[in-house]
Amino acid sequence: MRVVVTGSSGRLGRSLATRLAAAGHEVTGLDRAPAGLDGVDEHTVDLAAAGAAARTIGELRPDALVHLAGIAVPFSAPERDILLANTALAHDVLSAAASARVGRVLAASSPTLIGYSSPAWRAAAVPIDETHPIEPANAYALSKAVIEETARMFARTAAGAYGFFRPCYVISPEEWAGAPTQQGHTVAERLADPALAAVSLFNYVDARDVAGFVDAWLAAPADAIDGEGFFVGAADALAERPVAELWREFAPGLGAAADALEGTAPVFSIRKAADRLGWRPTRDWRSELAAASAAAVPAAPSPSDAVRAESDRSSGITRRERHQSADTSATKETRTA
């Protein structure tokens, strides 16, 4: 399938575009600067410029489009700028897709639109699923609510299938190895201090699992996805202790219903994506951190190195003396030549 990904150079876009390409799709990435993505045809374009989305998508005419582009972090710009930029960009892109008769169009939303950033927020039910009321508490969350309604509008009025998804706190591959996450903390820091992960209700998802979700969405029957939204998250919480033990101190808005979250269970339900699309995440923070730690351990010395070291110790030869001897031999060989 020929797939366009907007915002392909971003934290989620990089993994999404390259994984879709690896899965066999013909992927074109659109962003203001290229990221050097393997297997992706990257186009440099500012989709916020007047007419840019209509012109670019009209020329490409893909089979499917995944819209990620926009201001991706709450409070990273003035509230008015976030609201106007995200909503106008989404409308331009989805409208261009409708005009180009793109068969499938998927827009990125966010769990934040249910309103948990507000101190007064209380969960209507736990675990939280797609039926939970929308109560945005900032411009970023409000922009996502508008984007969802924009997708529903085109689902009602345009040919093809339009939908949206709510990826949880996205962790890209390099962040398992210690790179800062989008809030500036490392994964290890978020685990060590539950207050950091509680800001997003302990939710997270590996960017590569999001790509797996999108691949499943692209392959699903149209009646399973048209006008529909999905939470996309990990199958566990980003916490070393059960959320049932943490919510009273760190996330009181969840309420007593969170006591039912046993073991590693997450706050956000991904059952709808599993039931309708057959998608399930394949990565969790325990295995990913363990793999990153193992990859960072220096390789064990080879048997020959160990034998030589033991021989040197027996002979009273230091490593420095052996290197000096090797340097002298190399110098003699060079002069002879």
* pLDDT tens-digit map of 103-125: 999 999 999 999 999 999 999 99
pLDDT > 90: percent of the chain: 87
Radius of gyration from C-alpha coordinates of the chain: 25
The one-character DSSP state at 268 is B
Residue 314 has pLDDT above 50, yes or no: no
Residue 315 has pLDDT above 70, yes or no: no
Burial of 111 (0-12, 13-18, 19+ CB in 10 A): buried
User: What does the alpha-carbon distance between residue 178 and residue 243 come to, in Å, rounded to a whole number?
Assistant: 24
Residue 299 has pLDDT above 70, yes or no: no
Range with lowest mean pLDDT among 246-260, 306-320, 323-337: 323-337
Residue 327 has pLDDT above 60, yes or no: no
The one-character DSSP state at 89 is H
- List b or e across 17-45, with b for residues whose CB sees 16 or more CB atoms inside 10 angstroms: bbbbbebebebbbbbeeeeebeebbbeeb
Residue 74 has pLDDT above 80, yes or no: yes
Q: What is the pLDDT of residue 326?
A: 38
pLDDT 10s digits, 47-70: 999 999 999 999 999 999 999 999
Range with lowest mean pLDDT among 59-63, 310-314, 325-329: 325-329
Residue 323 has pLDDT above 70, yes or no: no
Which residue in 152, 150, 114, 151 sits closest to 134, CA to CA?
114
Name residue 230's beta-bridge partners: 165
User: What does the alpha-carbon distance between residue 102 and residue 284 come to, in Å, rounded to a whole number?
Assistant: 34
Residue 318 has pLDDT above 50, yes or no: no
User: What does the alpha-carbon distance between residue 264 and residue 275 come to, in Å, rounded to a whole number?
Assistant: 21
